[in-house]
Structure 1
Amino acid sequence: MLYVVLVLVAIGFIAYFIEILALASLVKQKLSFSFTEGVSIIKPLKGIDDNLFSNLESFCSLDYPKYELIFCLSSCTDPAYKVAKKIKDKYKDCDISIVIDDTSVGLNPKINNMFKAYMNSKYDFVIISDSNVIVDKNYIQQTAKYLKNNEVSVVTNLVRGKGALTFGSLLENLQLNTFVVCGMAFLNTKTNIPCVIGKSILFRKKDLEESGGFWHLKDYLAEDFMIGKLATDKNKKVAISNYFVDNVNEFWDTKKFLNRHTRWAKMRYKIGRFYYLSELLSNPVFLALVGFIISGFSKDFLYLFVGSAIFKAMLDYYTGYLVSSDIKSIYYFFSPIKDIIIGFIWFVPFFNTKVYWRGKKYLMGKNTLLIESK
């Protein structure tokens, strides 16, 4: 049995190494294209995210000639409204609007939040950007340069976790800066599977309208995935920019980390079951732990587990170097703990596909189609 587990662990490391190579190649990619079309940036707001004021403020002085910034909320009683209002008052020269609308067009609360903002947006190019990300002045140009290829309809960005001050935030940022960023790079550059993440999505409005429009997204939990899928269904391409948007996670507790990744696991399971099954093979630390437990805690399997954990931490440190992560070197020794937690979470969708999101309970169908649950 030792040899079987050893082979599985080796496969896991090989798969991860291939993903790291894809990331390294993407990070080194150089592409220039002067893009000057008007862009509408939609920022859905719900509650107070870590670093919210600075996150929103970073979008107010972008080095780009023509863009609008739309903050959208379901209620003026939402505490994020006061932050948005302060930003608007401070940056009077920036084209900022605040849209408040509690209309429910579907089961996805985020789409409900953004729907009126999207319908009122000025420009044919739209960026959806979550409120928990921060960018620098080059954000639009470094993202839009991938539209140089006329076949590209959607551009998403690499995501980098930043600012961890708690253990839960550290786990979150380790996951973003290893599994998520490597998976995004590999899927979008080496396969035909679009991996679009809602932290940052740029798309042509007319292309989305040809595929059913924003309305088509209203009942899907993974609206970001669906934007990419609708594009590829129309033989358009999804590109990934090597410009990093920083996802600021400072004060997460462990429960929030578990809730997010349990939900994400259920979503990935509903999006691509075969590919979801392969995820377990890309978690060598968890596979080594399972082998250690099944063996009755034998010494040989203990050596394999400890060796796998140390080697994985080293690879994750290198990945952190590639993405210019702000995680301190010593904290990468927590990465195997994160992998073990993610390994157990991987099994959840086989027993429960209900999701709790923004105060509501849903069942999920294919491609994360939502069904309201009582």
Structure 2
Amino acid sequence: MEGNRRIKGLDGLRGLAVLMVFIEHRMIYSHGFGNVGVRVFFVLSGFLIVGILHSERHLIEMRCRSLRSAILCFWERRVRRIFPIYYVVIAVFFIWFSRAGYSYVESGVYWHATFTTNIWTGVIRKDWSEASHFWTLATEEQFYLLAAPVLLFVPLKVHLRLSVFVLAVAIVTAICLYLLGANAVSIETFPMVAFGFLAAGGTLRLALDRIGRIGIIYLLSSAVLVVISIGCSWVLGSVEFYMVSAPLSLIAAIFLVGYIVTNQGSSFVGLLELRWLKYTGTISYGFYVLHAFFEMPDWALQLISAESGAYRELAYVVGSFLLSFGAAALSWHFLEKPILKRSPPREAITTSVA
């Protein structure tokens, strides 16, 4: 499987995932949607990032690239992709909390700025907060920081076993935390547990050549697992819900990504390639970062409907979505995309060690 070619459908899947997160954060009676969306994000990120690092390690073993240049190139591209809009939002967040009278400790700004929101949320607070959705970005940054040197240093033949090992350790860690009485937030945001979802995506990427084509039965199974995972939120407590929904949504995400990658000509992939959905996936990072801070203001809702009800709730959701989508589109076209375009091509950074 070629490491750098564009895989149809993955941008659309990102779009669906970020919409699921938005639905949970902005709609009542939608608990469970965001959990599935986040796990799809993690599996997809693990699939792509481990695939890139695996390809880079191949170049190192072929003596076409040095270990140092491969690590620096990988980190440089991650910084360009993630830092700009993130730190703009952190700066605004810092100013907003300062004016609201919160102390730096209460607002968690330092934790967000150092990509340790997962520690702040799961270990210190043990509860969600205004910007706790940053915990997923913290987890991914920590994974990138550790995975790059490890996967680029160890031989290719070890990569699959290493990914499976990390996944196994994540499962054991989640079970141990549950038995020790940790709450759902602490288990979900614990770094080693979350690394397991990324490692699952990496395992899929590394095992895909051996597995071969994934049939439509797996796509249908993923839909069933998603429905069951979301439905569990109605009948289980928060910790039990996590312990049941996490493996179900993880398997569903693996089936989804695997089906998309191995069935590029399918009707389902064609649906994911719809322009609006693909574009939503393209701006999904900015949308995810920004959506918690853009919601329909009360004065605008008052103009639409003075009384609470379904119509006002719908106006709130639609208005919040349009504001978040618009902000993400502006961020992509005027901040994120220009910075990515200035990134030097990978070939220019390649250093021959022959």
- Taking structure 2 as the reference length, the TM-score comes to 0.25
TM-score by length of 1: 0.24
Q: Larger % of helix: which?
A: 2
- Name the structure with the higher strand share: 1
